Chain A
Amino acid sequence: MQPVISLKDIRVTLGQNFSLSVESLVLQPHRIYALTGPNGAGKSTLLRVMALLLSPQAGTIEFAEGDSRDLARQRQRVTLVEQTPYLFEGSVTDNLNYGLKLRGINSRERSERIKATLAIVGLEGFEQRQAKELSGGEVQRVALARALVLKPELLLLDEPTANIDSNSLQAYEALLRGLPEYGVTVVFSTHDPSQSRRLGEEVLRIEGGHLIDGSRRGPQNQTFTQRSSVHGA
């Protein structure tokens, strides 16, 4: 199978004190990748680079197919859910509709997809709820649903369980574990080594400014990284 995304010779410098460089990183489809490491190591920066929100000063990012010069089109193949997601003003449906409308999907298909996706994240009947009335955990789920409804090839989650209470954690992790069934490749960042082992089929650890070729698991582990490194100063 073709990789979902390939990064080659990426270099990003943010200010004078931080730089990220990735020689080569290849992600295979329908897998869950855990990205672990201490604060400031470059996890969020790497996710933003993969989400095409941050342009590297050097290097190439390639998706399985399509014209890599059409940034807006390429961005529609990958979705990032931030650690503290922002929900637009309006209802849950308004939020889920946003990306669907940008893709020109008709109203009937939009409402079908919204209903199905809210069921996946356990928020049936939340269509008309106002974003500002939701709890922290519900916001996290709506943000996940807003990303999933777009059927992205690559879903990037920055510390997705950081704001979720322990009661909801198990259900949320089960939800993440099931995402590859929907054809999604997931990369999530976490501080929790046990969570990365529980969820990640492949574990990528950033430590001391380097991307360590971490504890590989699963039958397709040979498809992971080749000499990738992250430098933080």
Chain B
Amino acid sequence: MGYWGDSLLTAFELILGFDREVRMAVWTSLYTSSCSIVIAALLGVPIGLWLGLNRFRGRQLLIALLNTLMALPTVVVGLLLFGLLSRQGPLGPLGLLFTPLAMIAGQTVLAAPIVANLVLAAVTGADQRIINTALTLGASRLQAAIQLLREIRFGVMAAVIAGFGRVIAEVGVAMMLGGNIRNSTRTMTTAIALETSKGEFAFGLALGIILLSVALIVNLFLNALQQR
């Protein structure tokens, strides 16, 4: 059947046979990405909302900073956090390096600016009458902001999903902060990089197919939300 055909067949056997290595890599990816996107949403949504609703000196600078953070290379985030979490770093005594927690921290740094930026865009593009309508019906400023979030909920969900798409597909943070430890911090992306370099193309292909499926589902969700 040839190299590709044989590899694909083996890849599907690994997927359908619920191979333990594959399962663990998928689980670690989903677990760390889900945790980091929840924290990123808790940080990013209020930041985007606050920046969208308020006008103050330095706002443009903060937005420019967010845009820069959004484009941060994953290895740079990995490098900076490595410096903080390594034994010689200020947070070294916590012993977080090469644990899922370190990966979650790094992925949160990657995802939060994306969520904040896209929520900011959703707030800026929202109907300007929403806040005043809520206020004039008796809402406090916080209640009016919550009503605005309800009205732009599809934009907010799209922001969160876009952040999830970024972290589940990244390699740099997972590799540098997780260390690619088998059954602990090995994710789909780091496993693909490792196994392929070892010549286990079929194993990498199996994980690649799953990763692609996750990305496809995420994007289908995103498209469906953007249509609304």
Residues of A within 8 A of B (CB): 51, 53, 72, 75-76, 78-80, 82, 84-86, 88-89, 98-99, 102-103, 146-147, 150
Contact = CB atoms under 8 A, between A and B. Distances in A.
Closest 10 pairs between A and B when the two form their complex, measured CB to CB: A99-B137, A86-B129, A76-B138, A80-B136, A72-B140, A102-B138, A86-B133, A99-B138, A51-B136, A79-B136
Nearest to B132: A53
Contacts, number: 49
A75 B132 contact: no
B211 to A, nearest CB: 35
B147 interface: yes
Contacts of A147: 136-137
| Range class of the B interface residue count | 10 to 19
Contacts of A80: 132, 136
B139 interface: yes
Interface in B122-156: 127, 129-130, 132-140, 143, 147, 150-151
A150 B135 contact: no
21 contacts: A75-B136, A76-B138, A79-B136, A79-B137, A79-B138, A80-B132, A80-B136, A82-B129, A82-B132, A85-B129, A86-B127, A86-B129, A88-B133, A88-B151, A98-B134, A99-B137, A102-B137, A102-B143, A103-B138, A146-B137, A150-B137
Contacts of A102: 137-139, 143
Contacts of B150: 88-89
A86 B138 contact: no
Contact of A86 (B130, B139, B140, B143): B130
Nearest to B139: A102
Contacts of A53: 132, 135-136
Interface string B177-204: 0000000000000000000000000000
Contacts of B132: 53, 80, 82
A147 B147 CA distance: 17
Contacts of B137: 79, 98-99, 102, 146-147, 150
A86 B147 CA distance: 13
Contact of A82 (B133, B139, B140): B133
A76 B136 CA distance: 7
B128 to A, nearest CB: 9
Nearest to A146: B137
A150 B139 CA distance: 12
A88 B129 CA distance: 10
Nearest to A156: B136
A166 B21 CA distance: 73
A51 B150 CA distance: 24
A76 B134 CA distance: 11
A89 B151 contact: yes
Most B CB contacts (10 A, CB to CB) among A51, A78, A89 go to A89
A147 B127 CA distance: 19
